[in-house]
Structure 1
Amino acid sequence: MHLRFFPSFFDHPINVRFAEQEVDETIEILLRQHFITNIPWIVASFVGFFVPFILLSIDRMFGFDFLDKVSLELNLMALILWYLFLLAYIIENFLHWYFNIYIITNRHLVDINFHSLLLRDILEVGIENVETASSKIQGIIRSLFNYGDVTVRTAAEASPITFDAVPFPDKVADRINDIRGQRVHR
């Protein structure tokens, strides 16, 4: 059984389009960062869920009785604010992961950077401007889960375009180079 809860790699996705897509343009690969990159904020959120209970235990254990000196309404308000802050942290991190998308088409490379609900930027490069695409997997965790960075050097951009922490970076770089080769030899 292959679990695909929140996949990060879509090969030839169907029923997927983006705003600037041309009529005869097809999406070859749709990527987002590997799901394992979410583990740090998921663990932090899990720990954050228990922080009020830990503080209550410390308060009782050492006899500070701080919470007894503050009204119940203020304690409840602080608890509600804490969990609202935690929920906002979880939603913001999930949206950042989910909407940071890399799209490889038969004509373009599209890098959509989601910064917040009110700010995103889109970088689009024609595949004919791609000079080389290379991949890099560095470290034990990245090697175990087969994710890394894909660097695309273009003729038009001074600095290379980087697809950060994507799954199967070798396959992605090879596909970009193959598509580029097909477009150049037409």
Structure 2
Amino acid sequence: MPAFTLSQNEQIILMARRHWFFVAIAMLKPIILAVLPWLTAFALAFLNLSPANEQAAALLFWYFAWLFWFLCFGWGVLIWVDWYLDLWILTNQKIIDIQQMGLFKRLVMTYGINNIQGVAIKTGGPLAAFFKYGDAEIKISGQANAVVFREIPNATLVQDKILQAHQEYLKTLGTNPRI
């Protein structure tokens, strides 16, 4: 079942996810933890620590190491799925905000493009400048909080596309653009 449907004359203008840098940083945790069994095995071999029943201990150690690696791999998959399925979509008629919350829970919010009151871009810090990411905050009429595209690549390009789509939509209605 699709998360959203497009109307007959609706076209996707832009699809955005969080910058790849953030999924890479999040993936470092399970990757670093996955190295721990190898480090433990090398430390035990280097220190010449061997239990009385060495073969049984080694078998038990590697059994738990494989189990640990499986859990680290699963954690990495969850991180990637959450990143991949969190999506912001701009069409010529609406903005769709899809948030994946775990494996089986998804929140899909849709906002009409005619309700846009303004778009602000926030970037900060040397990492944001180097990797060219930022937040696009979209003020929607009737909403207390702004819709935020968090940590997206090329935030200024996204801002331009949103404003351009808003102006094109207002032109089709025969109204003067407000922004």
TM-score range for the pair, normalised by the shorter chain length: 0.7 to 0.9
1:38-64 superposed Cα distances (whole Å, 9 cap, x missing partner) = 221233333223211112233344555
Q: Is the counterpart of residue 44 in structure 1 residue 29 in structure 2?
A: yes
Larger radius of gyration: 2
Residue 74 (structure 1) shift: 2.5
Q: Distance in 2 between matches of 1:38 and 1:96?
A: 9
Residue 23 (structure 1) shift: 1.0
Report the structure, 1 or 2, having the larger helix content: 2
**TM-score normalised by structure 1 residue count:** 0.82
Q: Distance in 1 between matches of 2:75 and 2:94?
A: 33
- Amino acid across the alignment from 1:44: K
- Give the percent of matched residue pairs that are identical in Structure 1 and Structure 2: 18
- Amino acid across the alignment from 1:148: G
- Other-structure match for 2:140: 154
Task: Identify unmatched segments of 5+ residues in structure 2.
Answer: 174-179
- Other-structure match for 1:78: 64
Q: Distance in 2 between matches of 1:117 and 1:34?
A: 20
Task: Identify unmatched segments of 5+ residues in structure 1.
Answer: 1-16
Q: 2:12 aligns with which of 27, 31, 41?
A: 27
Contact 1:134–1:170 (CA<8 Å) still a contact in 2? Answer: no
1:146-185 superposed Cα distances (whole Å, 9 cap, x missing partner) = 1111001111211111001111101111211222122234
- Other-structure match for 2:118: 132
Q: Distance in 1 between matches of 2:151 and 2:65?
A: 35
Q: Distance in 1 between matches of 2:12 and 2:96?
A: 10
Q: Distance in 2 between matches of 1:26 and 1:18?
A: 16
**TM-score normalised by structure 2 residue count:** 0.85
Matched pairs, number: 170
Which fold has the larger relative contact order, with Cα–Cα distance below 8 Å and residues 6 or more apart in sequence? 2
